[in-house]
Chain A
Amino acid sequence: MIKSTQPTNPLSQVTTLAELQRNFISDCLSGKLKQDNILLAKDIDSSVISAQGLMGIYQNSAIANITQSLILTYPVIEKLVGEEFFSAMCRQFIYTAWPKSGNMDDYGLEFADFLAEFEHVKHLIYLKDVARLEWAFHQSSLADDASITDWSTLAQASDVLQLTFLVTPSLSLVSSTFPIDQIWHLNQDNTSPDMEVEFADEQDSDTFIVLFRQQLKTVVLPITAGEFALLQAFEHRETFEKAIIVASQKQTNFSVDESLKKFIELGIISGFVENIDT
């Protein structure tokens, strides 16, 4: 049988484990720890360091762990604002959005919206969209592989216009009024320091980007407005006919044959299904 001793403070009121853990988390999630409102104050041996000081170690450690996760998802944002500022900013973000589970792959979606509202970076108006691009990159990197399609059967389709083309599970689409693809490329580790981004508050045309995975690499590729609309339509399981219509509305000189061929070759379009009821 396990050896049991007297509690350090035998006069303390025994707290159930569930209650103690609830209070522990509540204290840590409440933001700035204050000595007079720590629920666990009576439960912690504070003979050397106060309960506030000791709980702060765990709170800081959790924040450091979450920040590490955000650094992995948002490395370009970290480069743009600097390591120290990024960590301080993450701390503010984390107080508003604690993880809901131990699967940190799911964590950080709200970061882009946070950046748009965070007073100290509000003037960096492109930052939100760069963060959206990084989140899309993160999602593409985690996605399942596409299943293999026998493209030779495409010729047997009774009505190609009524087909639905399938996109790879790693597809992400991002658009912006800023050249965020260039900003992203410029801040990769292997980029030449001489490269520069031509930057204006309002550029002539929007930026359209597709992200997808090829083997071990996640690709960030600029595309045209028509191609973006085409892939968006495919993503929403529209028919080929409908996809062509929306793509042509977005881009007058849109060449569907060229774009379709390119997306199939790149693996962005990964298959097709015939719509039986049409």
Chain B
Amino acid sequence: MQKIKGVGLGLRHRHFQEFIEDKPDVPWLEVHTENFFSQHSTSSKYLAKISQNYPISAHCVGLSIGSAAVACPVREQHLQHIKKTVDWLQPSMISDHLSWSASDGVHYLPDLLPILYTEEAFNIVSKNINRVQDVLQRQILIENPSSYLRFNDSTILEWDFLAELSKVTGCGLLLDVNNIYVSAFNHGFDALTYLECLPVAAVKEMHLAGYSIDIIENKEVYIDTHGQKVYDGVWQLYEKAIQRFGEVPTLIEWDTDVPELSVLLAEKYKAEAIIAKVLNKQVA
């Protein structure tokens, strides 16, 4: 298992061949674990070849660690799939989101659904993270979500919820800078407060991506679509994040309308330039 450093890219189908043949200079790659559940599939064969040259981080989207259902076969089955995939892939890091997708074992919505921030939810999420870490026998990272709604009954601030989760469960944090920016706009909080309240040692990875802007009922809403270049405001927040958390491995994420690899590489160079500027380093 190789240690991850520097600015990596999300590996998508469109670029498989280029990573095998051209071997572009990228220090690590992140995959969506759910795309490689079948170890013998064509996609997994490509990944096996690619992983010979690049360290891999496994990013999950369906562990549903926020599910309240006590008996949740869908969640448990998903965890077993993840375990099988992680066992053969041996990724350097494993992450999922502070969200949920499954309820009552029979219902599933493939999206990162929002959490009600209460003590009850905190205890449930902690228990679920412990279960995942016990099964996988290693630390996982939990990513801060982008969100579009807030529940009236929430009593805990999201950043406090995450900070305490890392303390109680020993999980690491995946700081998605774009998600903070998106949620801060949608809910009107100060993005810098979010950064300042997270424990420095817990943040093990960062994500950068683009969002889109929707108009709903005549109001602008930022939507975390991962289909654009990183916005200027997010780059500025990333600079603040590097100042606080240091040189944490950073990922350029792009999931919809995936462009040519050169576009992703240009975003990578931008992130590297910011790290170099903040830490007063030479760009490699």
Tell me the A residues contacting B by CB distance below 8 Å: 2-9, 12, 14-18, 20-22, 24-26, 28-29, 42-45, 48-51, 53-58, 61-62, 64-66, 68-69, 72, 98-105, 141-145, 213, 215-218
Contacts and interface: CB of A to CB of B under 8 A. Distances in A.
Given A105-B37, A213-B42, 19 more contacts: A2-B119, A2-B164, A3-B160, A7-B154, A12-B152, A16-B120, A17-B120, A18-B68, A18-B69, A20-B116, A21-B103, A28-B109, A53-B216, A58-B114, A68-B256, A101-B62, A101-B78, A103-B62, A103-B81
B221 interface: yes
Interface in B172-226: 214, 216-217, 219, 221, 223
A98 B164 contact: no
Contact of B67 (A6, A21, A98): A21
Given A2-B164, A22-B107, A216 B46 contact: yes
Could you say which of B110, B120, B124, B256 has the most chain A C-beta atoms within 10 Å of its C-beta?
A: B110
Interface string B120-133: 11101000000000
Nearest to A57: B148
A134 B256 CA distance: 22
A58 B34 contact: no
Contacts of B103: 18, 21-22, 24-25
30 contacts: A2-B164, A3-B156, A4-B119, A5-B155, A8-B150, A8-B151, A9-B153, A17-B120, A25-B109, A26-B107, A29-B107, A29-B109, A43-B151, A44-B150, A44-B152, A49-B219, A49-B221, A54-B148, A57-B223, A58-B148, A62-B110, A72-B13, A100-B108, A101-B62, A101-B102, A102-B62, A103-B77, A105-B41, A141-B43, A142-B41
Contacts of A69: 110
Contacts of B110: 62, 65-66, 69, 99, 102, 104
Contacts of A54: 148-149, 216
B37 A43 contact: no
Contacts, number: 174
B36 to A, nearest CB: 10
Given A25-B107, A102-B102, A17 B121 contact: yes
Nearest to A69: B110
B38 interface: yes
A104 B34 contact: yes
A162 B234 CA distance: 69
Contact of B151 (A4, A44, A103): A44
Could you say which of B43, B68, B69, B151 has the most chain A C-beta atoms within 10 Å of its C-beta?
A: B151
Contact of A61 (B45, B78, B223): B223
B104 interface: yes
B109 A62 contact: yes
A20 B102 CA distance: 12
Given A17-B121, A49-B219, A102-B110, A7 B34 contact: no
Given A99-B110, A103-B37, A141-B42, A5 B68 contact: no
Contacts of A26: 107
B118 interface: yes
Could you say which of B43, B62, B153 has the most chain A C-beta atoms within 10 Å of its C-beta?
A: B153
B237 interface: no
Nearest to B197: A3
Contacts of B45: 215-216
Given A3-B157, A3-B160, A105 B217 contact: no
Interface string B47-66: 00000000000000110100
A22 B102 CA distance: 9
A56 B67 CA distance: 20
B100 interface: yes
Contact of B118 (A17, A66, A144): A17
Contacts of B29: none
Given A2-B160, A29-B109, A215-B45, A12 B149 contact: no
B74 interface: yes
Contacts of B81: 103
Interface in B141-176: 148-157, 160-161, 164
Nearest to A54: B149
A61 B78 CA distance: 21
A91 to B, nearest CB: 14
B111 A61 contact: yes
B113 interface: yes
Nearest to A45: B150
A102 B109 CA distance: 8
A49 B216 contact: yes
The 6 A-B pairs at the shortest CB distance, nearest first, are namely: A102-B62, A17-B68, A62-B111, A54-B149, A18-B68, A9-B152
A24 B100 CA distance: 11
Contacts of B69: 18, 21
